[in-house]
């Protein structure tokens, strides 16, 4: 009995981890049509609150966030949510900051520029220099999206796993909490592939390097590298008395044990150049974003996979519109 009691105490002392990750563009639409940001605002929606109200209307078309998204990134996120002492939270251009059980209609809103539903395209944001930051603030009534969350979960760990675009949108809220001491090196960590964000957040960043995708511990596509790294670090440290410190130790070990990837210098393209390059590809290469990107890379050109998928979709949509008009 004494041993059982000791084990119980050890388990009870384990730190709780809150994983905050970005949403994905791929969504299940079996419950209803996708609600587009641009279309909704063009039909009379005038505020962020009205947009959120639209997503919470028609209950028969709603489902929990955790069941809404699909794809490689999201399957890993759902898997992490099954780990004991871990809770999944989501940041999105459509809903803001949400728990994974929140109900919503399928929607299309994004922080990515080459998209018709980019938040900078709607009238509320067209006059601002920082549309993603402005929209994020409007979604939360111009209040810090995370303050109550952090205060209500005092003593827990907060890991933000997201791309640069999402981190730029939310960085003001994160910086404020760092300045106030609510986020510190004992409870706060960011996992991302790039660090082109506020320099005050640099001490808390772990970079998901391309070479990690070749390691046995993490191997997988670049699209899901951030979340795969997060899962590996969480699994390796969740039972530790100081999980965050353990995560950093495991990360350093991974960095030392993984060989660097050396690539030939490729010709990086602007969005318009990528669209032009797609238009010149043979029809047989346009069956999917993956096949088109492979063909592009064979020509010695370079484009990040997620960015290319967005541009490829835009190219196909534009081509369809041209055909319809003709």
pLDDT tens-digit series, residues 161-209: 999 999 999 999 999 999 999 999 999 999 999 888 999 999 999 999 9
Tokens of 62: 């709603």
Angle at alpha carbon of residue 257, lines to 252 and 261, rounded to 5°: 105
In the chain (326 residues long), the average pLDDT of successive 10-residue segments reads: 34 75 88 91 95 94 94 95 96 97 96 91 87 96 97 96 96 98 96 91 94 87 91 93 93 88 64 88 86 83 84 85 68
Closest to 173 measured CA to CA, from 20, 38, 15: 20
First CA to last CA across the chain, in angstroms?
80
What is the chain's percent helix, strand, coil content, to nearest 5? 50, 15, 35
- H or E segment and range at residue 42: helix 37-42
Distances (CA, A) of 325 to 38, 243, 320, 321: 21, 58, 9, 6
Distances (CA, A) of 181 to 150, 186, 228, 305: 11, 11, 29, 37
What are the b/e assignments for 122-133, b being 16+ CB within 10 Å? Answer: bebbeeeeebbb
Angle at alpha carbon of residue 240, lines to 236 and 243, rounded to 5°: 75
Distances (CA, A) of 53 to 41, 48, 65, 92, 133: 13, 9, 16, 16, 21
- In 67-117 the beta strands, taken as DSSP E runs, fall at 86-92, 96-99, 103-104, 107-108
Predicted local confidence at residue 301, as pLDDT: 80
Under DSSP, is residue 105 helix (H, G, I), strand (E, B) or coil?
A: coil
How far apart CA 150 and CA 132 sit, in angstroms, is: 22
Whether the CB-CB separation of 24 and 70 falls below 8 Å is answered with yes
Predicted local confidence at residue 195, as pLDDT: 81
User: Rounded to the nearest 10 degrees, what angle do helices 305-325 and 289-298 cross at?
Assistant: 110
Predicted local confidence at residue 9, as pLDDT: 32
How far apart CA 100 and CA 120 sit, in angstroms, is: 26
Q: What residues contact 318, with CB distance under 8 A and at least 6 apart?
A: none
Tokens of 239: 């039972």
Closest to 159 measured CA to CA, from 53, 239, 243: 243
């Amino acid at each position: 009995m004494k041993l059982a009691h000791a084990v119980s105490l050890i388990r009870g002392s384990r730190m709780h981890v809150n994983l905050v990750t970005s949403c994905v563009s791929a969504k299940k639409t079996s419950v209803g049509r996708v609600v587009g940001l641009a279309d909704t605002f063009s039909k009379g929606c005038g505020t962020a609150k009205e947009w959120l109200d639209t997503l919470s209307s028609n209950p028969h078309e709603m489902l929990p966030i955790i069941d809404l998204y699909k794809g490689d990134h999201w399957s890993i996120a759902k898997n992490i949510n099954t780990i004991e002492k871990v809770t999944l939270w989501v940041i999105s251009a459509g809903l803001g900051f949400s728990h994974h059980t929140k109900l919503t209609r399928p929607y299309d809103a994004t922080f990515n520029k080459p998209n018709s539903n980019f938040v900078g395209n709607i009238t509320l944001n067209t006059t601002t220099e920082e549309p993603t930051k402005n929209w994020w603030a409007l979604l939360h009534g111009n209040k810090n999206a995370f303050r109550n969350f952090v205060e209500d979960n005092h003593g827990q760990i907060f890991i933000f796993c997201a791309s640069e675009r999402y981190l730029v949108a939310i960085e003001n809220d994160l910086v404020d909490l760092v300045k106030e001491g609510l986020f510190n090196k004992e409870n706060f960590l960011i996992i991302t592939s790039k660090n082109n964000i506020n320099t005050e957040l640099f001490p808390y960043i772990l970079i998901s390097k391309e070479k990690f995708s070749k390691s046995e511990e993490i191997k997988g596509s670049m699209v899901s590298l951030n979340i795969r790294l997060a899962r590996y670090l969480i699994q390796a440290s969740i039972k530790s008395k100081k999980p965050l410190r353990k995560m950093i130790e495991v990360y350093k070990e991974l960095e030392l044990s993984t060989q660097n990837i050396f690539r030939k210098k490729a010709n990086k393209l602007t969005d318009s150049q990528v669209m032009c390059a797609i238009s010149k590809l043979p029809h047989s290469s346009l069956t999917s974003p993956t096949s088109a990107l492979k063909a592009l890379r064979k020509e010695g050109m370079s484009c990040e996979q997620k960015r290319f998928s967005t541009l490829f979709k835009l190219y196909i949509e534009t081509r369809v519109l041209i055909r319809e008009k003709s």
